[in-house]
Structures are given as structure tokens and as C-alpha cells.
Amino acid sequence: MKWSKKEDCWKVPVKCWADNLEESAMIQASNLAQLPCVFHHVALMPDSHCGFGMPIGGVIALKNCICPNAVGVDIGCGMTALKTDVHKEALSDMEIRRKWHTLVKSSIPFGEGNSHKEEQEWFGFDNFTVENEPYSIQPIDRKNMSSCGGGNHFDELQYDEDGYVWIMIHSGSRNLGHRIASHFHEVAKNLCNRFFVNLPDKDLAFLPVDDENGQKYINAMNFALDYAKENRRRMMDTSLDCLVSICSDIGVDCHVSWRYDIHHNYASLENHFGENVWIHRKGATSAKNCEFGIIPGSMGTSSYIVNGLGNKESFMSCSHGAGRIMSRSDASQKLTVAECDKAMDGIVCDRWNKVRRGKSKGLYDLSEAPGAYKDIDTVIANESDLVETIHKLKPLAVVKG
């Protein structure tokens, strides 16, 4: 932990593992520490940076309440990773990796607004029967199943310290999670207004869990978690099939030796410091004792497979990635194509598109380049009391949303 402090106006202290926390994220942490239902302390992971209402990379515990914006709009966003028995030498030719990249892109829709043309079947759709609500199942949710979101979402081919090839995917619940979060945030704001709750920030409106709307949110959130997990499972199956096909073409067998999946945008009822509380992990990963974790770096940098140490001070949590140091617009204005290309040297990937809207319109979109993010090795070093590293993975090819 880097520091812990408590201001007079705060109900609980803030504990931080991050270097040089930006002022806007600190203001958000201060707001969290003043919430009426906050419990024990606020924890900021080493990848923390400003989010919507609450810092991304933040963990809070609420008593008998749940806060939609402390989970986030991409409910169930998370990671899945698998290890194969293929050695990286079999994929040393960049053209072989480019074939995997091309196959994956032709099999999985990537990016905002992209989905399958046909609706996908899944038993979960039939088990979630909500009618006449903005978060009821829509055709777009069925078409989005087995597709990867935009921004920092990705599908990546990697190798570990022993040279074995891995596949790692980062994605979530797509449009469904956004609709659930947006709807229940408005419900929470109205409820807090009706009962004259003194909120430090209206974006932190919450719902009592024993309220009908609190239960509706929990049910919808849990469905979005299931949706996101199934979404990643299907994409991983497809990505693996692409690798198996390519390996077959070059006479190499491909088998899976390890596979795991985690969420990093969710809330769950857990026991901490002797109380049953709702732990909200927004851009944070559960890191209970001996629990596996997946912490990706930025595009072009290393990722980590870790083991949790069950540190109570972080509510048994750790970072979910590297964490931004530049906003999307800042990255496009401050980074250069040349330096971003150099950072991706030797890694198969698409090159940079131009920004379509906003103040960076017409510039190259460099918002996902390594220079826009914190150094992942520093982030991992800063949480050595939260996790121990098992594998360090380096990229071979990456498909971005």
C-alpha cells in the first residue's frame, strides 16, 4: 500500500496502492468516503484512474445498499485466458500469426456497433424474463452474443516465460450492461432524491438491497454477469478453433492445459471485517487467498496470471489492468504514430484508424497504444502485497475492438 489517510469530512479512510493518483480520481475517492452507507474504508488499486462517479480500479463496501455506478456500465466486463501446449517457435513466422489474426477477425465481430447478422441462441435468454423495461432482452443482445466490444477490449495471442502459447480475451456484456446500469442509476437518483439522501455526488446514487428496485438491479446485474461470461466463452472457443486450424496446417498439435475466466465490474455480497457487505469492484479483480487472477497490460505490453494473497486491506482485491495515464483525446494529440508503431514492433495487429468525432477528429486514434497506459510492471510491483505472479505473458498478435 502506498498510503492511507482520513479527512475530517470523510466517514471512512481511503487506502491507495497507486502511484501519482490524478486529482480527479482523488476527488471521486473523497466522494466515496462520504457516502452514508460506505463501510470501513475505500480501496484504490494501483491502476486507479478517473471514471464515471467512481474511480476505475476502485473497491468499496456498502452496507445493505448497492450502487449502479460503482459497478459501472459494462457490467461483467472481464477476462478469460487459456494456455496451450503449442510452443511459440511454431508461430515464429509473422505470416502464420497474421493468419490467426485474420481468421479471428472474420469469425468474431469486433468494435462498437458491430454484431452478428443473425440472432444467437442461448438458454440464458429464456431464463431472464423481464418485460417492458429498458433492460429487457432485445434482438441486439442476441446478435451481440459472441462479439467483442470496442475501446480497450481485445483478443490476444501471447506466450509465457517457458514459450507456451496462450489466448487472452477482454470483453463484457456489451449494450445490455450499459442499459441496465443507465436505467437503475436513474432509479437510484430518484429514490435518493425522494428520501432527501445527502449524496456527495449524484453519480453515486444507490439502492437499498431490501427495496424492490435494489433486488431488480441485483437480478439484472447477475444476468449480465452470466451473459458476459458466456460471451467470452464463445469467443474463446472460436479463437481456439482458429489456432487449432492454423496449427493443423503446419503439422502441430494444439491442446489446452489451463483455462480460467473472471469478472472485474461487479458487486457481490461478502464478509469483510466481521460484516456482510456488498463489495463493489469497478475495474478491480477479486484476489482472495490462492484465487487465480488475470491482469492484462496495455496493447503491446505484458500481461500477468496471478495468485491472490487475500489481503484484507484491499477487500481481497487487486488491479484489473494497467490503468490509463492519458484520456483518449489526449493520447491522440500527444502521442505520435511513429512511437506507437515502434511499441508494436514484431506484434501482429491492425494499424491506427482516424478519430471520427470530438476534438481529436481527423487525428489518428492512439488511445489504446502502450503510451496511453501506466507501466504494467510498475502496477504489478505496487500490488506485491495483494498478489503473487505465476506467469508473465508477452503478445504475439492482438485483435482490437
Q: How confident is the model at residue 354 (pLDDT cuts 50, 70, 90)?
A: confident
Q: Is the pLDDT of residue 112 over 90?
A: no
Catalytic residues, which ones? 320
- If we measure between CA atoms, which residue out of 175, 211, 220, 177 comes closest to residue 192? 211
DSSP letters for 54-82: S-EEEEEEESSEE-GGGT-SSTT-EEEEE
Does the predicted model carry a pTM greater than 0.85? yes
- The pLDDT, as a whole number, for residue 180 is 97
- The pLDDT, as a whole number, for residue 361 is 79
Q: Is the pLDDT of residue 360 over 90?
A: no
Strands (E), 111-198: 154-159, 164-171
- The pLDDT, as a whole number, for residue 356 is 77
Q: Are 185 and 46 in contact (CB under 8 A)?
A: no
Residue 164's identity, in one-letter code, is: Y
- The pLDDT, as a whole number, for residue 314 is 98
- Residues facing residue 262 across a β-bridge: 79
Give the angle 371-22-323 at the CA atoms, nearest 5°: 40
Q: Is the pLDDT of residue 358 over 80?
A: no
CATH class of 3-325+373-400: alpha beta
- The pLDDT, as a whole number, for residue 81 is 98
C-alpha cell of 358? 470530438
- The pLDDT, as a whole number, for residue 85 is 97
Domain boundaries, the chain: 3-325+373-400, 326-372
User: Range with the lowest mean pLDDT among 52-61, 122-131, 233-242, 312-321?
Assistant: 122-131
The rounded mean pLDDT for the chain is: 96
- If we measure between CA atoms, which residue out of 298, 320, 297 comes closest to residue 387? 320
Mean pLDDT, to the nearest integer, of 276-287?
98
Q: Is the pLDDT of residue 7 over 90?
A: yes
Q: CA separation (Å) from 173 to 55, 76, 154?
A: 20, 6, 14
- The pLDDT, as a whole number, for residue 355 is 81
**Alpha-carbon gap, residue 309 to 289, rounded angstroms:** 4
Mean pLDDT, to the nearest integer, of 244-265?
97
- The pLDDT, as a whole number, for residue 253 is 96
- The pLDDT, as a whole number, for residue 59 is 98
Q: Is the pLDDT of residue 132 over 90?
A: no
Mean pLDDT, to the nearest integer, of 40-58?
97
Q: How confident is the model at residue 363 (pLDDT cuts 50, 70, 90)?
A: confident
C-alpha cell of 117? 447478422
Burial 10-36 (b: 16+ CB within 10 A, else e): bbbbbbbbbeebeeebbebbbbbbbbe
Distinct helix (H) and strand (E) counts, the chain: 9, 17
Q: How confident is the model at residue 61 (pLDDT cuts 50, 70, 90)?
A: very high
- To 10 degrees, the CA torsion angle through 24, 54, 272, 384? -50
Give the angle 358-361-367 at the CA atoms, nearest 5°: 85
Q: CA separation (Å) from 200 to 16, 54, 63, 112, 173?
A: 20, 12, 17, 32, 29
Q: What is the CA radius of gyration of the chain?
A: 21
Mean pLDDT, to the nearest integer, of 154-168?
98
Mean pLDDT, to the nearest integer, of 361-384?
93
**Alpha-carbon gap, residue 326 to 221, rounded angstroms:** 30
Residue 361's identity, in one-letter code, is: K
Mean pLDDT, to the nearest integer, of 373-387?
97
Q: How confident is the model at residue 364 (pLDDT cuts 50, 70, 90)?
A: confident
**Alpha-carbon gap, residue 11 to 178, rounded angstroms:** 30
Mean pLDDT, to the nearest integer, of 168-196?
96
